[in-house]
Amino acid sequence: MDDTKVFLQERIERINNYQHNKTLKERADHFLLESLKEKYSYNFDWLGLPIIQYPQDIVALQEIIWMTKPDLIIETGIARGGSLILYASLLEMIHNNGVVVGIDVDIRRHNRERIINHPLFHRIRLIENSSIEEDTLAAVRNIAEGKTRIMVSLDSNHTHEHVVKELQLYSPFVSKGCYCVVFDTIIEKMEAGSFHDRPWGKGNNPQTAIEQFLRNNRNFSIDNEIEAKLLITAAPGGYLVRHQ
Ligand SMILES: C[S@@+](CC[C@H](N)C(=O)[O-])C[C@H]1O[C@@H](n2cnc3c(N)ncnc32)[C@H](O)[C@@H]1O
């Protein structure tokens, strides 16, 4: 076997073996839950703008985008723009017509300015509105016209009801072989009462929304291999791939 094949084979075996390493799994879970309390995911930038993600998820997104080569990425929930810039930076290298559309109910002026002034802004379209409004969907449909490889990233309001609605509205955009990534499923594993100032929590979050969505939708399944290798992710069970 050539060196590349050996390397990949060893990687698969190593990741498979993680499931037998109880200490590794427990310590990864411990780090994840403790670091969530300390807002660790707020510590990083992507090409100059704050991205509210775990570095492990950023690497997973890079692998998915490079592998699936979308020409349109739809993101709900853009916050300070770092994830938009991440998507734009990867699209810049993959396609000469790749676009990311960022939807947020509240794009604060200083955030909008930083996004607009970024060298990758030519890859970005912004929609300031709730992701589940009909006007938003109409604008997204317009942008999606003629696109053939569409990926979706859901990272806005994390209540069960909102994410179920987003999954219903945005999953039809996802192309076969592409991903719909649903962030913050980790909320289900966090202690009850972790979010005093938010409507979501245990039993009411993106994880419960995915469970409901997958009960009625046979086109998507969870890519468990991503979580198996990351060990640390804010989106356990949240990497959905469309296979039909
Ligand atoms: C977790 S942050 C997004 C983080 C961002 N994706 C990143 O990786 O840096 C959630 C964002 O969702 C937005 N949001 C909340 N409700 C929304 C809604 N109904 N429609 C669209 N965006 C919404 C908030 O304004 C906030 O900016």
Give the tens place of pLDDT for each residue, 200-217.
Answer: 999 999 999 999 999 999
Over residues 107-125, the pLDDT tens digits come to: 999 999 999 999 999 999 9
Q: Is the pLDDT of residue 63 over 90?
A: yes
- Is the Cβ atom of 155 under 6 angstroms away from ligand 1? yes
Structure tokens given for 64: 């998915």
Q: Name which of 122, 81, 71, 87 is nearest 103 in CA terms.
A: 81
CA distance 59 to 22: 24
Global pTM value:
0.97
Q: How confident is the model at residue 193 (pLDDT cuts 50, 70, 90)?
A: confident
* Bridge partners for 128 per DSSP: 104
Instruction: Name the pLDDT band for 95 (thresholds 50, 70, 90).
Output: confident
| Contact (Cβ atoms closer than 8 angstroms) between residue 70 and residue 153 | no
pLDDT at residue 195, as a whole number: 81
Q: Is the CB of 77 under 6 A from ligand 1?
A: yes
From the CA of 77, how far away is ligand 1's center (Å)?
3
Residue 220 tokens, joined: 């998507």
Do residues 105 and 129 make contact, with C-beta atoms less than 8 angstroms apart?
Answer: yes
Q: How far apart are CA 20 and CA 22, in angstroms?
A: 6
Whether 186 is in the pocket of ligand 1, judged by its Cβ within 6 Å, is no
**Ligand 1 close to Cβ of residue 53 (< 6 A):** yes
Arithmetic mean of pLDDT, 88-94: 97
C-beta of 79 in contact with ligand 1 (< 6 A): yes
pLDDT score recorded for residue 1:
79
> What pLDDT sits at residue 136?
98
Say which residues have a Cβ less than 8 Å from residue 241's Cβ, sequence separation at least 6: 177, 178, 179, 180, 220, 221, 222, 223
Phi, psi of 76 (to 5 degrees): -100, 130
Residue 92 pLDDT > 90 = yes
Q: Looking at the predicted structure, is the pLDDT value of residue 192 above 90?
A: no
Mean residue pLDDT of the chain comes to 97
Cα 202 to Cα 188: distance, rounded to the nearest angstrom: 5
pLDDT of residue 161: 98
* pLDDT given for residue 105 in this prediction: 98
Taking the centre of ligand 1 as the mean of its atom positions, its distance from the CA of residue 106, in whole angstroms, is 8
191: DSSP letter: P
pLDDT at 159: 97
Ligand 1 centre from 181 Cα, in Å? 14
Atom of ligand 1 nearest to the CA of 103: 21
- Give the separation between CA 154 and CA 196, rounded to whole angstroms: 22
Strands 220-222 and 49-51: unpaired
Pocket test for ligand 1, best of 157, 169, 200 (most atoms within 8 A of CB): 157
Number of the ligand 1 atom closest to the C-alpha atom of 80: 9
- The CA 156 to ligand 1 mean position distance, Å, reads 4
Cα 10 to ligand 1 centre (Å): 38
